[in-house]
């Protein structure tokens, strides 16, 4: 993607996300997502070598399917998103070489999650979140991010089996560890990661203004050390 196209798509995604956040929770919800100060984030990791119960039957019994998002599926209408921001973001993410996975019902995307893996052995994953989180995934590891489930399907206990489906697929491809993070004030995400037994890494303190972030380490005694500043995010 050229830089002008990327800037345009980032602005378009931000516009849709702002509008959708307003519909879901008003001005307070918009500010919570785009502007915040010293918000706590917890990076997490999980070893994928331990085989957990497969979620396939749970999803199948409730008429859900787990599929990888591909450009041709979007182009041909085999998958479709209801929130405008998710459709635009999917197209942008695929162009960046990131992998997306969808939880679908009759072709409609009920939820989606994205991940990055190294393009080749002995290379590092490239993603703006990683400096913010202070983690460095390497060969055989992945970073999962931006999981979204439609508001009307939240509360159906889909998040854990959806994430577990991603783990199963990555493990089958030779991945042995996955990283992610959650915001400490997002209680559903906090409990999902704890129920799934993710290992919690040192917390981060993050401030955001639109596309720019500043992140700090947060020690157990409440001190902080600045590690990244002015990091643009998508």
pLDDT tens for each residue of 9-47: 767 777 777 777 676 777 776 666 668 888 999 999 999
Rounded distance between C-alpha atoms, residue 145 and residue 196, angstroms: 16
pLDDT bracket for residue 234 (50, 70, 90):
very low
Mean residue pLDDT of the chain comes to 82
User: Over the range 1-29, which residues count as b (16 or more CB within 10 Å of their CB) and which as e?
Assistant: eeeeeeeebbeebbebbeebbeeeeeeee
Q: Confirm if 79 and 67 have CB atoms less than 8 A apart.
A: yes
For residue range 166-183, what is the model confidence (pLDDT) as tens digits? 999 999 998 999 999 999
Ranges of each domain in the chain? 3-232
Q: What's the CATH code, domain 3-232?
A: 3.40.630.30
Asked whether residue 119 carries a pLDDT value surpassing 60, the answer given is yes
Tell me whether residue 72 is exposed, middle or buried, using C-beta atoms within 10 angstroms of its C-beta: 0 to 12, 13 to 18, 19 or more: exposed
Count of CB atoms within 10 A of residue 143's CB?
26
* Secondary structure of residue 38 in the 3-state scheme: strand
**Higher-confidence position of 118 and 41:** 41
* Cα atoms in the 13 Å half-sphere on the side-chain side of 124: 7
């Amino acid at each position: 993607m050229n830089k002008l196209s990327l800037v345009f798509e980032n602005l378009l995604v931000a516009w849709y996300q702002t509008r959708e956040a307003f519909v879901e929770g008003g001005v307070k919800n918009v500010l919570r997502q785009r502007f915040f100060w010293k918000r706590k984030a917890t990076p997490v990791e999980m070893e994928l070598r331990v085989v957990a119960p497969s979620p396939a039957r749970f999803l199948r019994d409730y008429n859900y399917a787990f599929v990888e998002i591909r450009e041709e599926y979007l182009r041909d209408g085999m998958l479709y998103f209801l929130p405008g921001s998710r459709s635009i973001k999917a197209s942008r993410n695929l162009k960046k070489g990131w992998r997306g996975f969808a939880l679908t019902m009759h072709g409609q995307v009920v939820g989606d999650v994205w991940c990055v893996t190294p393009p080749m052995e002995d290379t590092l994953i490239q993603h703006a979140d990683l400096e913010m989180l202070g983690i460095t995934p390497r060969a055989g590891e992945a970073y999962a991010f931006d999981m979204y489930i439609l508001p009307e399907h939240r509360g159906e206990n889909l998040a854990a089996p959806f994430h577990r489906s991603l783990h199963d697929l990555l493990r089958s491809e030779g991945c042995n560890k996955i990283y992610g993070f959650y915001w400490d004030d997002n209680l559903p995400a906090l409990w999902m990661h704890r129920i799934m037994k993710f290992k919690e890494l040192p917390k981060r303190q993050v401030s955001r203004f639109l596309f720019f972030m500043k992140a700090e380490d947060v020690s157990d005694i409440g001190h902080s050390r600045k590690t990244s500043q002015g990091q643009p995010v998508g």
